[in-house]
Amino acid sequence: MEIVKYEGYNKDELLELYRSVGWTNYVNNPAMLEKAFKNSLATFAAYEAGILVGIIRAVGDGASIVFIQDIIVLPEYQSRGIGTMLLKHITEMYSDVYQIELMTDDTEKTIAFYESCGFKRAAKLGCCAFMRI
């Protein structure tokens, strides 16, 4: 397993990764995905035998806030520590940033994963989140 800075933009491999986890908003709007990647603060990829198996994408200012926008691992590669490696890479890179945030599905699996990586639910910190879509 190799974690590398993701440079450039390989539309086919990225769309296949997003498609594999059902993130149709990006799959149905590849131009938005490309623009999002190009405007990201940092993006890292996990490759195995030359195949993109995971990605993490962060946005923010890199000083007071980093927001983990996307973290995806191909379903057949999940539960192998790849997501943890990707998340650790970003959190170590921005260890001096005041807050690192993310928003995720409200499932036992995702909650357990992020709590195992040291994240806390916003409500446990006396905060709440708002969205507008």
Nearest to 49 by CA among 27, 77, 30: 77
Strand partners, 46: 3, 54
CA 89 from centroid of its chain's CA atoms: 11
Segment 68-110, tens digit of pLDDT: 999 999 999 999 999 999 999 999 999 999 999 999 989 999 9
- Please name each of the domains of the chain with its CATH number: 2-125 (3.40.630.30)
Segment 35-76, tens digit of pLDDT: 999 999 999 999 999 999 999 999 999 999 999 999 999 999
